[in-house]
Structure 1
Amino acid sequence: MKYIDLHVHSNVSDGTLTPSEVVNLAVKSQLAAIALTDHDTLAGIQQAQAAALSETEAGNPIQVIPGTELSVFYRKRDIHILGLFVDGNNTILYQALENARLKRDERNEKMTANLRSAGIDITVDKLRQEEGEAVLTRAHFAKFMVKYGYCKSMQDAFTRYLNDDSPYYVPREYLSPAEAIDLIHTAGGLSVAAHPLLYKYTLEEVEQMVSYLSDRGLDGIEAIYSTNTGFDEGRMIHLANKYNLVITGGSDFHGANKPDISLGSGRGNLKIPYSILEKLEDRLKSRN
Structure 2
Amino acid sequence: MKYIDLHVHSNASDGTLTPTEVVSLAASLSLSAIALTDHDTVAGVAEAQAAALAKSDASNPLRIIPGAEISAAYNGRDIHILGLFLDTKNNALIKTLHEAVAKREERNEKMAANLRGAGIDITVDKLKAAEGEAVLTRAHFAKYMTEHGFTKSNKDAFDRFLNDSSPYYVARDYLSPEATIDLIHEAGGLAVLAHPLLYKYNLEQLDVLISLLAGFGLDGIEAIYSLNTGFDEGIIRRYANRYNLALTGGSDFHGMNKPDISLGSGKGNLKIPESLLESLEKRLK
Shorter-chain TM band: over 0.9
Name 2:140's counterpart in structure 1. Answer: 140
Residues 89-128 of structure 1 aligned to structure 2 (within 5 Å) = 89-128=89-128
Alpha-carbon distance between aligned partners in 1 of 2:57 and 2:199, rounded to the nearest angstrom: 41
Q: Secondary structure at the match of 1:170?
A: coil
Deviation at residue 182 of structure 1 after TM alignment: 0.3
Show the counterpart of 1:9.
Answer: 9
Q: How does 1:192-231 map to 2 (within 5 A)?
A: 192-231=192-231
Q: Distance in 1 between matches of 2:4 and 2:98?
A: 29
C-alpha distance in structure 2 between counterparts of 1:254 and 1:147, whole Å: 17
Unaligned runs of 5+ in 2: none
Q: 2:69 matched to 1:39?
A: no
Displacement after TM superposition at 1:109 (Å): 0.8
Shift of 1:57: 4.3
How far does residue 277 in structure 1 lie from its aligned partner after superposition? 0.1
1:65 is matched with 65
Q: How far apart in 1 are the matches of 2:54 and 2:101? A: 30
Q: Which residue of 2 aligns with 1:130?
A: 130
> Deviation at 1:58?
8.2
Q: Distance in 2 between matches of 1:237 and 1:118?
A: 44
Q: 235-244 vs 184-193, which deviates more?
A: 235-244
What amino acid is the match of 2:152? K
Task: Quote the residue 1:75 is aligned against.
Answer: 75
| Equivalent residues of 2:39, 2:135 under 8 A apart | yes
Partner of residue 48, structure 1: 48
Give the partner amino acid of 2:128. Answer: R
Provide the rounded CA distance (Å) in 2 between the counterparts of 1:53 and 1:60.
11
Once structures 1 and 2 are overlaid, which stretch shifts more, 112-121 or 146-155?
112-121
> Residue type of the partner of 2:9?
H
Computed over aligned residues only, the root mean square deviation of the Cα atoms, in angstroms, reads 0.9
Question: What is the letter of the counterpart of residue 213 of structure 1?
Answer: L
Cα distance in 1 for partners of 2:59, 2:148 equals 43
**Secondary structure at the residue paired with 2:32?**
strand
CA drift of 1:134 comes to 0.3
- Residue 97 of structure 1 aligns to a residue whose secondary structure is helix
Deviation at 1:252, TM superposition (A): 0.3
How far the C-alpha of 1:180 sits from its partner, in A, is 0.4
Q: Which amino acid aligns with 1:191?
A: A
Identity %: 69
Equivalent residue, structure 2, for 1:166: 166
Question: Is the contact between residue 32 and residue 60 of structure 2 (CA under 8 Å) also seen in structure 1?
Answer: no
Counterpart-to-counterpart distance in 1, 2:265 and 2:57 = 25
Q: Which residue of 1 aligns with 2:269?
A: 269
Q: How does 1:226-237 map to 2 (within 5 A)?
A: 226-237=226-237
Shift of 1:159: 1.1
C-alpha distance in structure 1 between counterparts of 2:147 and 2:176, whole Å: 35
> By how many angstroms is 1:59 displaced?
5.6
User: For the residues of structure 1 that align with 2:229 and 2:204, how far apart are their CA atoms?
Assistant: 18
What one-letter code is carried by the residue in structure 2 that aligns with 1:109?
E
Looking at structure 2, the residues matched to 101 and 184 of structure 1 have their Cα atoms a distance apart, in angstroms, of 16
Give the whole-Å Cα distance in 2 for the aligned partners of 1:249 and 1:170: 30
Structure 1: which 4+ aligned runs deviate by more than 6 Å? none
Could you tell me how far apart the structure 1 residues matched to 2:134 and 2:278 are?
31
Distance in 1 (alpha carbons) for counterparts of 2:162 and 2:231: 31
Question: In structure 2, what residue type is equivalent to 1:105?
Answer: E
**Corresponding position: 1:259 with 2:263:** no
CA drift at 1:60: 3.8
Using the TM superposition, give the Cα deviation of residue 259 of structure 1 relative to its aligned residue in structure 2, in angstroms.
0.7
TM-score by length of structure 1 reads: 0.98
Residue deviations 1:236-288 (CA, integer Å, cap 9, x gap): 11111110110000000000011110000001110000000000000000xxx
One-letter code aligned to 2:15:
G
Unaligned runs of 5+ in 1: none
Structure 1 stretch displaced more, 231-240 or 243-252 = 231-240
- Deviation at residue 125 of structure 1 after TM alignment: 0.6
**Quick one: distance in 1 between partners of 2:234 and 2:247?**
11
